[in-house]
Amino acid sequence: MRLYFKQRFFSWLDSYDIYDEQDRVVFTVEGKLSWGHCLHISDAAGNHIATLQEKVFSFLPRFELYIGEQYVGCITKEFTFFRPSFSIDCNDWTVEGEWLEWDYEIHSASRGRIARLSKEPFRLTDAYVLDVQDPDDALGVLMVALAIDAEKCSRN
């Protein structure tokens, strides 16, 4: 399954549309005014399905994950020098990036590669291609991509 993650051009807060290969909107993401990034994810019908909330007062960037209103875990950036790395405490996924921070891979200890995330260069807004092995993992992969993008935005 391939998803296209595109930030909206005219938006005060983080807003994204996520499309499938047929150019249909699969998810929408709306940023909410808060301390740190707070991103609400909706399905194609506009129903709120998940939230990604940045924890502001933490040593390393950390994002809490909610499915509906229920807390399910968090994504934390690991302390590394050359290659960005993230850990996810609600499953056995790990995220490894390359040193330019344009390409990432999500791996599972039990299932192997879950997804590949690639940033599209030379765009006016942030755009990523998400290659997801199992469509059931699409929401989790999207939340990882949003956390990576939010962390990079906070740093810059």
74 vs 155: which has the higher pLDDT = 74
Per residue in 125-150, pLDDT tens?
778 999 999 999 999 999 999 998 88
The arithmetic mean of pLDDT across residues 62-75, rounded, is: 94
Interstrand relation of 93-97 and 103-108 (parallel, antiparallel or unpaired): antiparallel
pLDDT tier for residue 13 given thresholds of 50, 70 and 90: low
Provide the 3-class DSSP secondary structure of residue 14. coil
Residue 12's alpha-carbon distances to 30, 48, 92, in angstroms, are: 10, 20, 35
Is the predicted pLDDT of residue 93 greater than 70, yes or no?
yes
Per the structure, the complete domain to which residue 96 belongs is given by 2-155
Per residue in 16-49, pLDDT tens?
899 999 999 999 999 987 778 899 999 999 999 9
Pair 56, 64: CB distance under 8 Å: no
105: domain CATH number?
3.20.90.10
What's the domain count of the chain? Answer: 1
Strand partners, 86: 77, 95
Pair 76, 55: CB distance under 8 Å: no
The upper half-sphere exposure of residue 151, i.e. CA atoms within 13 Å in the direction of its Cβ, equals 22
The arithmetic mean of pLDDT across residues 53-58, rounded, is: 85
Is the predicted pLDDT of residue 74 greater than 70, yes or no?
yes
pTM summary value: 0.89
Tracing tokens 């997801």 back to the chain, one arrives at: 132
Q: Can you give the pLDDT at residue 5?
A: 86
Residue 121's alpha-carbon distances to 38, 100, 129, in angstroms, are: 25, 11, 11
Q: Can you give the pLDDT at residue 145?
A: 92
Pair 53, 66: CB distance under 8 Å: yes
Provide the 3-class DSSP secondary structure of residue 146. helix
